[in-house]
Every structure is written in structure tokens, then in C-alpha cells.
Amino acid sequence: MKTRKLGNNNLEVSAVGLGCMGMSFGYGPAADKNDMIKLIRNAVEQGVTFFDTAEVYGPYDNEELLGEALAPFGDKVVLATKFGFKHGANGPTTADGLDSRPEHIKKAVEGSLKRLKLDTIDLYYQHRLDPNVPIEEVAGAIKDLIHEGKVKNFGMCEVGAEAIRKAHAVQPLAAIQSEYSLWWREPEQTILPTLEELGIGFVPFSPLGKGFLTGKIDAKTSFDKTDIRSTLPRFSQDAIENNQKMVDLVSRIAASKDATPAQIALAWVLAQKPWIVPIPGTTKLHRLEENIGGANVELTDSELREIEQTASKIQIQGDRYTATQQKTVNR
């Protein structure tokens, strides 16, 4: 597995990481814990060193899963988790609202350290920007945690360029995490140029379009009510039928390179910048192996031009979030 560096702190990770949310949360019923432990450990054996979770996934279940699965590997792996939601009676949920007050962050980190079985969190993200707390105060709290040795690197998720600059001025950021793929390219407008200027890494989640770019979803696909895609406008029947044009594009390139559509979609993301590290998620071993293989697919300049020229003519249908969900990612 090739490696890449995130940020100027030289945080080195595998070129493709593993997003673990779907193992416990968000994409239907939680997968079998023992099966997921085996999957995570298999990923390590195949060279994956970068794993992503959050306290809200479950809540707590996903952090506990990673803590158990990765305990044998010590500092051979890099673990990223997130804070930023209120803690209700059953733990943090997105419905509880946001809370990035410094006192909350310093309480949340203790729980994450315990569940992850760590003394230090490699990369600690603010999960969503909290409009009620100045970002300078959030960055200051993380700076304190870094000085205390409880956190190594600071990150933020789904934020705009202004917030990035303000936070970075207080505590340098190692990485920004946002959705990015062939069918969601909004970060190219202001986020990627800002990160390049400041020397901050980029970690795209859903680099496979929440599974759509694998070519395994069509208008007949039905989603469990606990699967977030069941509510997303982009996964309505009409939108899926329209957006199939993007799958046709990656499938055509894949056929010419003896690769899969998923591998082409990942190779495209990796080709955009050397400091981009996608974190596709899966609960299946064969998909894990397929995604890892995407790191070894290199697109030629002519193939990248073909993808760009064709993709620019495809009008993606459907918002990526509902109006309520979109409120937490407004930049």
C-alpha cells in the first residue's frame, strides 16, 4: 500500500483509508461485531493504516468496535475520531444538536480515549461547525489537548474556507474531511485551493458516492429505513435513473483498464491532489479488497481528460442532503 501525508505535521497514512461508520450506523442495521473486527484486522494486514470513526456513530458503538479491533496494532495505525454533538441520555446523536464548547470537548475526548483504548488520539475532528461557539475557542481547546498529549492532530469536517483559516491560525490543522467524489465536487471551488495554500490534507468521505459509483445501485434498489440513503433526494428513483450516466462513464473507463467502477472512482479522487486520502467504507471483505486495489490504478492524462470532459456534461440530479440535514453543513 502506498502512503500519503496529511498536513505539514507529516501525518503519514495509507493512500486509501477505511471509513468505519457503516459497520455500526447509518447504512442499515449494524453488522456483526466479530465479522467487523475480522474485516478491520484484514485491512491492516493489507496495508491500511488509516481508520475513521466518531463518537456519534452508534452512538459510541463504532469507537468501541475500533478500540477492540485495533488494540493489537498499537502505533502501527492512525485512528481518527470526532466530537461536536450534544450528549443526550443515550449518548450523542445528530438529533440532540451541536456542542463544541471547550468544556464539552475536554469531556468528550476522555470518553473517546477510553473507548478507543488509546492514550492519544491521532486525529481529532470537529464533526460539524457549531454556530454558537467561535471556532477560535474550539481550536484553542484542541491546542490545549495537544499540549496535554491527549490529541496529536486537529481536523474539521464539512467547513468553509473562512472557518478553516480562523481555526488554522490558532492551531494548525492536519486535515479537513468533507464529501468529495465524481458526483459531488463542490470542495473544488474554495476548499481545495485553501487547503493547498495552507498545507492541510483532505480526507474525502463517500468517495464512491455512498455506493452509487460502484454500479451496484439502480432504480429498483430499496434501502432499509435505517439506511440514510432512504431519505436522500439524490437516491430517489428519478435521480438514480438520471445519475446513471456517471456510472456509465466510470464503467466505460473501468472496462478499458481491467478495473472496477469503484476502483476508477477512487483512482480519480486520488489523482486530484497528492495530499488527498479517501476513506471508502464497507462491511464486505471483497469490497475492502476492491477498494484497496483502487490505490494501484493510475489514470493517464488522456483518461483524466476524458472523464473531465464527459463528467462536465452530466447534470447530477437530487440534493445530497434533505433540507434539515443541510443545515448542519452550511458553510
User: pLDDT tens for residues 36-86?
Assistant: 999 999 999 999 999 999 999 999 999 999 999 999 999 999 999 999 999
Label the pairing between strands 91-92 and 87-88.
Answer: antiparallel
Residue 330 pLDDT:
62
**Cell digits for 64?**
468501541
**Cell digits for 14?**
495509507
For the segment 135-150, what is each residue's pLDDT rounded down to a tens digit?
999 999 999 999 999 9
Residue 327 pLDDT:
79
**Cell digits for 140?**
484553542
The residue type at 160: G
- The average pLDDT across 97-111 equals 97
Are residues 300 and 54 in contact, defined by beta-carbon separation less than 8 angstroms?
no
- Cell 495509507 locates to 14
Are residues 204 and 278 in contact, defined by beta-carbon separation less than 8 angstroms?
yes
**Cell digits for 51?**
481508520
Helices 61-70 and 102-116 pack at an angle, to 10 degrees, of 40
Residue 325 pLDDT:
83
SS3 161: helix
C-alpha distances in angstroms, 238 versus 107, 235, 242, 316? 45, 8, 6, 11
For the segment 194-237, what is each residue's pLDDT rounded down to a tens digit?
999 999 999 999 999 999 999 999 999 999 999 999 999 999 99
- Can you say whether the dihedral through the CA atoms of 99, 105, 110, 113 is positive or negative? positive
Are residues 296 and 289 in contact, defined by beta-carbon separation less than 8 angstroms?
no
Domain residue extents for the chain: 3-210+265-298
Rounded CA separation 73/260 (Å)? 31
- Cell 433540507 locates to 323
In the annotation, is 27 catalytic?
no
On the question of pLDDT at 254 being above 60, the answer is yes
Which CATH fold would you assign to the domain 3-210+265-298?
A: TIM Barrel (3.20.20)
- Can you say whether the dihedral through the CA atoms of 89, 94, 96, 97 is positive or negative? positive
On the question of pLDDT at 331 being above 60, the answer is no
Of 154, 138, 136, the closest CA to residue 146 belongs to 154
| Catalytic-role residue among 57, 60, 124, 180 | 57
Residue 11 pLDDT:
96
Residue 243 pLDDT:
97
